[in-house]
């Protein structure tokens, strides 16, 4: 989970509009530190070394579950046919002995956030079914049945998702052609929502129940008051169509 911001305040560089960088955020504890907002250069290799640490703090980001989770949960969502939807119950690690953060879908499928037992450094998704398992990581794919894996590899790119074009080119083409990119905004939103709801359940220390169709909690005013679900924007920023729902 994200941690409280503990970086010392430092002078804002003259070439940085800190007020604009802050955007709608209202927390007075957020102050400038180069780790939060590292300089961007024309050198891709240099930029690769300076990823913004704002991701790890609760005042500005969602921590590791959202940073890496967004990359992995979208694979699970797509495979389950849940793009645009998501789990309906979130059970945090530690609740009544729960060993892992657990998410339950309306169809009974269970997803957990846990490390691989055979490769703890790997980041990915493992699907476990009645015919075997499939492991998909950033670097490799493994399967309990090599024949099944070969069959699935032959199907890559033939379904809903076109995977041959680079991300940025696909995005630019979508703008020019007024079409959806490979991953429409609704898909990214549902994955990001999953990450946020996991953190909400963690901070509350109990399960939360979610309606992915209405984007609202099921009769849970405490969860609906959480900052990851709703907060008043700092002026002049506003979302006039956003209202508080429970």
Q: Is 234 part of any domain?
A: no
Spatial CA neighbour of 205 closest among 59, 1, 55: 1
pTM here? 0.86
pLDDT tens, position by position, 110-131: 999 998 888 878 889 999 999 8
Question: Do 53 and 152 belong together in one domain?
Answer: no
Residue 84 in this model has a pLDDT that exceeds 70? yes
- In the chain the beta strands, taken as DSSP E runs, fall at 89-91, 101-104, 110-113, 124-129, 132-137, 141-143, 208-211, 216-217
Question: Do 16 and 117 belong together in one domain?
Answer: no
Q: Which residues face 39 on adjacent strands? A: none
pLDDT score of 245? 47
Exposed/middle/buried for residue 112 (C-beta within 10 Å: 0-12, 13-18, 19+) = middle
Q: Is 151 part of any domain?
A: yes
Q: Which residues face 216 on adjacent strands? A: 211
pLDDT score of 209? 97
Residue 243 in this model has a pLDDT that exceeds 80? no
Residue 157 in this model has a pLDDT that exceeds 70? no
80-96 mean pLDDT: 94
Question: Do 136 and 179 belong together in one domain?
Answer: yes
User: How many domains does the chain divide into?
Assistant: 2
Spatial separation of the C-alpha atoms in residues 183 and 200, rounded to whole Å? 25
Distance of CA 169 to the CA centre of its chain: 22
pLDDT tens, position by position, 189-202: 999 999 999 999 99
Residue 73 in this model has a pLDDT that exceeds 70? yes
**Given the DSSP bridges, would you call strands 208-211 and 101-104 parallel, antiparallel or unpaired?**
unpaired
pLDDT score of 246? 40
Residue 12 in this model has a pLDDT that exceeds 90? yes
pLDDT tens, position by position, 47-72: 777 788 999 999 999 998 888 888 89
Question: Do 54 and 77 belong together in one domain?
Answer: no
Question: Do 212 and 153 belong together in one domain?
Answer: yes
pLDDT score of 160? 59
Give the DSSP letter of residue 13.
P
pLDDT score of 162? 60
Domain that holds residue 18: 1-61
Residue 185 in this model has a pLDDT that exceeds 60? yes
Q: Is 236 part of any domain?
A: no
Q: What are phi and psi of 80, to 5 degrees?
A: -90, 0
Residue 153 in this model has a pLDDT that exceeds 70? no
Spatial separation of the C-alpha atoms in residues 22 and 31, rounded to whole Å? 9
- Angstrom distances, CA of residue 90 to CA of 68, 97, 103, 243: 18, 14, 5, 23
Give the CB-side neighbour count of residue 241, counting CA atoms within 13 A: 0
Residue 240 in this model has a pLDDT that exceeds 90? no
Question: Do 78 and 17 belong together in one domain?
Answer: no
3-state secondary structure 88-124: CEEECCCHHHCCCEEEECCCCCEEEECCCCCCCCCCE
pLDDT score of 29? 86
């Amino acid at each position: 989970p994200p941690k409280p911001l503990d970086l010392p305040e430092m002078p804002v560089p003259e070439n940085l509009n800190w007020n604009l960088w802050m955007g709608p955020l209202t927390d007075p504890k957020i102050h400038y530190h180069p780790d939060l907002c590292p300089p961007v250069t024309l050198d891709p290799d240099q930029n690769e070394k300076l990823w913004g640490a704002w991701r790890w703090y609760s005042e500005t980001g969602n921590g590791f579950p959202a940073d890496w989770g967004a990359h992995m949960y979208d694979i699970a969502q797509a495979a389950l046919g849940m793009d645009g939807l998501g789990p309906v119950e979130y059970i945090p690690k530690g609740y009544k002995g729960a060993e892992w953060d657990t998410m339950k879908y309306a169809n009974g499928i269970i997803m957990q956030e846990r490390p691989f037992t055979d490769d703890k450094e790997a980041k990915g998704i493992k699907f476990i079914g009645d015919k075997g398992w499939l492991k998909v990581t950033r670097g490799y794919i493994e399967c309990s049945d090599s024949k099944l894996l070969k069959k699935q590899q032959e199907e890559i790119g033939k379904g809903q998702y076109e995977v041959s074009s680079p991300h940025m080119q696909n995005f630019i083409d979508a703008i020019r052609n007024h079409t959806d990119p490979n991953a429409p905004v609704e898909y990214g939103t549902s994955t990001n929502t999953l990450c946020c709801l996991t953190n909400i359940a963690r901070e509350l220390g109990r399960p939360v129940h979610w309606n992915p169709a209405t984007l609202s909690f099921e009769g849970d005013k405490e969860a609906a008051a959480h900052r990851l679900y709703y907060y008043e924007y700092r002026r002049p920023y506003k979302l006039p169509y956003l209202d508080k729902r429970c």
